[in-house]
Structure 1
């Protein structure tokens, strides 16, 4: 069977190509990818090429398919997995395999397995580790976004607190506590807001800070404060860029106690230091953002570490249980991962979008791999709709949905764009 895929050959060398997949083995599964959202980690792999820890050294001779936030349908099942999987079932995938100590991962390391493709072969280790996940929701994009949502969920689970006089760590954010999400109006920050509002361990106060007023305005429109109040949560979006003393302002919002939990969503030294300064007693700072600078550092108040039990930790990625939680919450309609998405495109736009990712404004870029479509911001649908009735229809659908991508928009796209 032929597939069409974006393959990595070296530093900044991504190519959209059509090629033949090998014959399916008894311990493999053939799938049709429908959607893949582009991750900043894929950009890093594309920029570094063989210098990336997950990319093979011989990638120039044996290129790999990129993309790991994928969803689609199972097409054919090898004999070994016939009792567990059936053709026609929807799937999502946990790419963090950690197979026998190897860092190899779909979207970074495999010649025939990656999300930016029409058809791919799932190697046996994906199934052996329980990382091919069944999905029963309506739309494919939700299953694609389960991977980035799982990273957020994992961070919430990994945060911890202590009780004076006890050495036991209590895992998770403080229920009913005070939560700050710094640099939080971007895609992952908005995913964190959605999870914090609807998870089973909710804070009583959520403060989301950013310095980009346009991003904050979009965030307020997606998460109205009065709806958060219905969940018993006070939700505030704050532009710290126009505050003379952001730390004093943020601490004042807590009544002077400081925050129980602080998440930092940008690898920016002043933001990290701001997070440290607003921690309350036994406050946990979770450094979520992944820096590219191996020497990245920031000041930390060790007086508070010693006397106020404040602590700093970080997470990278989520595990399979986190991803299953994301899928189940999405299937139940409890969370809406579409809050992260701002751009839609076809497979022909994936390579350029990946290489230009830091320069493209907005949130997640969602690729539908079986269509050709220039990468387009959702808020540009109406303008393009003046000359293209398909974009006009997408504009109508998304405008009825707070400007968010949705299942109806996905159905229209898949039914009306050239496959």
Structure 2
């Protein structure tokens, strides 16, 4: 079977190509991919090429398919897995494999397994690890976004707190405590707000900072203080751009106690150092956003580490349990991953969008692999609708949904674009 896919040949060398997939083995599964969301990790992979830890050194001769936040339909199942998976059903998948110490992952390491493709072959280790999941949701985009949401969920689970005089770590954010999400009005920050408000371990105070007023206004439109209050959370948005002393201002919000949990959602020195400054006793700072600079560093207060038990940790993704939780919360309509989405595009837009991702404003970019469509901001649908009635219809659909992508929009797009 032929597939169309965006393949990486080296640093900043992405190519959209059509090629033949090998016949699946008895322990493999052939899938049709419908949607894939572009991750900043894919940008890092693309610009680094073979210098990325997960990319094979021979990628120039054996290119890999990029993309790891994908969902679709199962087409053909090898004999070994026919008791568990059936053709014609939907799937979601966890890309963080960690198979026998290997760093190989879809979107980084495999010639025939990645998200920016029309069809792909899933190797046996994915099923062996339980990383391929049957999915019964209405839409594909929610399954694609379950992966970035699982990274957020994993971060909330990985934070920990201690007790004086005991050698125990209590996992998770402090329930009813004070949480700050720094640089939190971007796509992953919005997902974190959604999870913090609707998970089963909520903070009492949630402070979200950013320096972009437009992004903060959008966050406030999506998450009202009234909704947060109904969830038992006091929600505060703060633009720190023009504050003379942001750390002091944030400490005032906590009435001087500091925060129990702080998440740094940007790999910026001042953000990380600010996070350290606003920790309360036994406060946990999670450095969530991965840097590309291998020498990235910042100052921390070791006096507080020693006497106030402050601590710093980082998470790079979620596990399969986190992914399952993400899917479950989405199916129950407790969280809405669409809050992260701002752009929609087709397979033909992937290479350019991935290589220029930091320069494209907004949140997550969602790709539908079986269509050709210029990467388009959802807020631009109405303008494009003046010359293309399909965009006009999409604009009307999302307008009914707080300006957010939704199942109805996805179904319309899949029926009207080719």
Query: TM-score interval w.r.t. the shorter chain?
Result: over 0.9
How far apart, CA to CA, are the structure 1 residues paired with 2:173 and 2:345?
Answer: 36
Runs in 1 of length 4+ with deviation above 3 angstroms? Answer: none
> Secondary structure of 1:348's match?
helix
The match for 2:164 is 164
Superimposed CA distance per residue, residues 298-326 of structure 1 (whole angstroms, 9 cap, x where no aligned partner): 11111111111111111111111111111
Superimposed CA distance per residue, residues 175-194 of structure 1 (whole angstroms, 9 cap, x where no aligned partner): 00000000000001111000
Number of positions where the alignment pairs a residue of Structure 1 with one of Structure 2: 418
How far apart, CA to CA, are the structure 2 residues paired with 1:136 and 1:229?
Answer: 32
* Residues 1:120 and 2:120 aligned together: yes
The match for 1:134 is 134
User: More deviation in 235-244 or 114-123?
Assistant: 235-244
The match for 1:333 is 333
TM alignment of 1:231-310, pairs within 5 A: 231-310=231-310
TM alignment of 1:8-407, pairs within 5 A: 8-407=8-407
> Secondary structure of 2:100's match?
helix
How far apart, CA to CA, are the structure 2 residues paired with 1:99 and 1:182?
Answer: 33
Residue 25 of structure 1, CA deviation: 1.1
Residue 339 of structure 1, CA deviation: 0.6
Superimposed CA distance per residue, residues 320-371 of structure 1 (whole angstroms, 9 cap, x where no aligned partner): 1111111111111111011111000000001110011011001100000011
> Secondary structure of 1:242's match?
coil
How far apart, CA to CA, are the structure 1 residues paired with 2:153 and 2:214?
Answer: 26
How far apart, CA to CA, are the structure 2 residues paired with 1:52 and 1:278?
Answer: 34
> Secondary structure of 2:372's match?
coil
How far apart, CA to CA, are the structure 2 residues paired with 1:141 and 1:270?
Answer: 34
> Secondary structure of 2:241's match?
helix
How far apart, CA to CA, are the structure 1 residues paired with 2:340 and 2:165?
Answer: 41
Residue 94 of structure 1, CA deviation: 0.7
Superimposed CA distance per residue, residues 98-118 of structure 1 (whole angstroms, 9 cap, x where no aligned partner): 111111111111110000000
Structure 2: runs of 5+ lacking an equivalent: none
How far apart, CA to CA, are the structure 1 residues paired with 2:11 and 2:267?
Answer: 23
> Secondary structure of 1:145's match?
helix
Residue 263 of structure 1, CA deviation: 0.3
Residue 212 of structure 1, CA deviation: 0.3
> Pairwise CA RMSD of aligned residues?
0.7
How far apart, CA to CA, are the structure 2 residues paired with 1:103 and 1:2?
Answer: 28
Residue 242 of structure 1, CA deviation: 2.0
How far apart, CA to CA, are the structure 2 residues paired with 1:46 and 1:276?
Answer: 32
TM-score, L = length of structure 1: 0.99
How far apart, CA to CA, are the structure 2 residues paired with 1:150 and 1:322?
Answer: 5
How far apart, CA to CA, are the structure 1 residues paired with 2:112 and 2:290?
Answer: 27
TM-score, L = length of structure 2: 0.99
The match for 1:412 is 412
Residue 37 of structure 1, CA deviation: 0.2
